[in-house]
């Protein structure tokens, strides 16, 4: 009896439902991470899994990472497998239907990586990859080749990446991403932000994170105060559906903003999940009400196993047509395609300019009304005061060079 091994509780016995968990644990972000749901046993505690979800979990297990916090899983609709939270979290068998055009690295990041942990595509900004874990592994993830694996960026790689940024005076804007950077300890984030702030040419720092959506309890005052020490710091988060906006996620975003951190949103258009005008309008309006500024709406990247989640470009443009003009301009995201292979983000309409003439241009407004705009007589945009304002400052044409 004395040397009997302790009986470990099976995964299915771990309490994962909000009502069964001590409130102190539930509100502890580290508890949420330790208890992320990963398996059929875990998820079937929350919702009765559909056949496709069950088979998807089993058959994609060795291909793509799956996982979500108990908090995010608590938003699942037990009655409907088309629930936006379920569809973003639980794999479908459709992920196995690969297409030739789909890629492990759809945005050509690995070929724009001068040193590990840096993706540098634009002249004046780069992406700094500092952590490989997330608090949700999205089904549409465009970095699924590297996240959640066993290859977290190493400390000396991050050192080299910081040195690279220091060596490139053209970099004014550093976008810290992952994985999810806000899963690192506050102390480590403070260290990395402090190092970036010592580089004189780094003007702004932004953090890309889904934490406000999937792990809002992480956004505490200590984190916000730490980020605010390194201003100007911006956060871009990733809400895709209004059902993700809860008292908790709202409080997280508002706390960031109250610390002077502007919060933007980069949503991904997902077929059958948020691809309706009504859903998009409701999402954008809910975001702006909590002072989160819609930034981009992405046409789905051509990531391996995500064809079933992409909309056609014509439906994407039609959806945007249902937003612009009908909704506060403050709540308007820009629709972009992130170029396959790494050419950067490209805005794709809708097109309002119908005809560009010498003397006039023809436009249409959001209601389809045709409008004529007369061109000025003089065309040359020369600014003579530039000679005074920039006197002695060398020309800095950011259109030259770059990756
Ligand atoms: C998206 C992205 C940026 C930032 O682009 P913005 O249009 O300035 O938001 C920078 N670097 C990389 C590698 C990116 O993917």
Min mean pLDDT across 68-82, 94-108, 167-181 is at 94-108
Instruction: Give the mean model confidence (pLDDT) for residues 23-42.
Output: 97
- List strands edge to edge, sheet with 125-131: 118-119, 125-131, 173-178, 204-208, 233-237, 263-268, 292-298, 334-338, 345-347
- For the entire predicted model, the pTM comes to 0.94
CA of 125 to the centre of ligand 1 (A): 7
User: Rounded mean pLDDT of 45-55?
Assistant: 98
Distance in angstroms (rounded) separating the CA atoms of residues 211 and 84: 17
Could you tell me the pLDDT band of residue 10, with boundaries at 50, 70 and 90?
Answer: low
Helix-helix angle 186-197:221-228, to 10 degrees: 10
Cα radius of gyration rounded to whole Å, the chain:
23
Residue ranges around ligand 1 (CB below 6 Å)? 119, 121-122, 125-127, 175, 345
CA–centroid distance, residue 338 to ligand 1 (Å): 9
- Mean pLDDT, residues 148-163: 93
pLDDT tens per residue, range 304-319: 999 999 999 999 999 9
Residue 345 CA, closest ligand 1 atom number: 7
* Ligand 1 atom closest to residue 112's alpha carbon, by position in its atom list: 13
Gap from CA of 98 to ligand 1 centroid (Å): 27
Q: pLDDT for 271-292, tens place per residue?
A: 999 999 999 999 999 999 999 9
- Determine the distance separating the centroid of ligand 1 and the alpha carbon of 86, expressed in angstroms: 28
Rounded to an integer, what distance in angstroms lies between the CA atom of residue 136 and that of residue 284? 22
pLDDT in tens, 345-365: 999 989 999 999 999 999 999
Element (H, E) at 371: strand 370-374
């Amino acid at each position: 009896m004395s040397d009997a091994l302790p009986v470990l509780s099976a995964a299915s016995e771990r309490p994962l439902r909000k009502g069964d968990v001590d409130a102190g644990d539930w509100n502890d972000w580290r508890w949420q991470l330790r208890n992320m749901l990963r398996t059929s046993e875990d998820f079937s505690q929350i919702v009765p899994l559909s056949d496709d979800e069950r088979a998807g979990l089993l058959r994609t297990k060795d291909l793509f990472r799956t996982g979500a916090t108990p908090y995010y899983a608590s938003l699942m609709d037990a009655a409907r497998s088309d629930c936006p939270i379920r569809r973003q979290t639980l794999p479908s068998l459709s992920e196995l239907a690969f297409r030739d055009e789909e890629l492990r690295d759809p945005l050509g990041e690995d070929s724009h990586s001068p040193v590990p942990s840096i993706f540098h595509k634009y002249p004046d900004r780069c992406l700094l990859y500092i952590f490989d874990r997330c608090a949700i592994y999205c089904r549409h993830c465009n970095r699924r080749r590297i996240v959640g694996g066993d290859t977290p960026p190493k400390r000396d790689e991050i050192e080299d990446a910081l040195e690279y940024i220091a060596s490139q005076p053209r970099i004014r804007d550093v976008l810290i991403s992952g994985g999810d950077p806000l899963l690192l300890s506050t102390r480590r984030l403070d260290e990395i932000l402090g190092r970036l702030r010592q580089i004189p040419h780094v003007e702004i720092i932004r953090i890309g994170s889904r934490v406000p959506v999937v792990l809002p309890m992480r956004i505490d005052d200590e984190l916000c105060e730490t980020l605010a020490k390194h201003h100007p710091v911006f956060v871009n988060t990733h809400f895709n559906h209004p059902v993700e906006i809860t008292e908790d996620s709202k409080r997280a975003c508002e706390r960031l903003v109250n610390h002077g951190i502007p919060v933007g949103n980069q949503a991904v258009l997902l077929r059958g999940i948020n691809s309706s005008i009504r859903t998009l309008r409701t999402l954008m309006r809910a975001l702006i009400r909590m002072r989160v500024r819609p930034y981009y709406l992405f046409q789905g990247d051509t990531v391996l196993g995500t064809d079933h989640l992409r909309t056609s470009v014509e439906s994407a443009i039609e959806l945007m047509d249902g937003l612009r003009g009908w909704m506060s301009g403050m709540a308007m995201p820009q629709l972009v395609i992130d170029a396959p292979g790494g050419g950067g983000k490209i805005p794709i309409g809708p097109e309002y300019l119908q005809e560009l003439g010498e003397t006039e241009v023809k436009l249409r407004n959001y209601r389809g009304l045709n409008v004529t705009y007369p061109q000025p007589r003089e065309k040359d945009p020369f600014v003579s005061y530039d000679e005074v304002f920039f006197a002695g400052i060398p020309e800095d044409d950011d259109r030259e060079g770059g990756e």
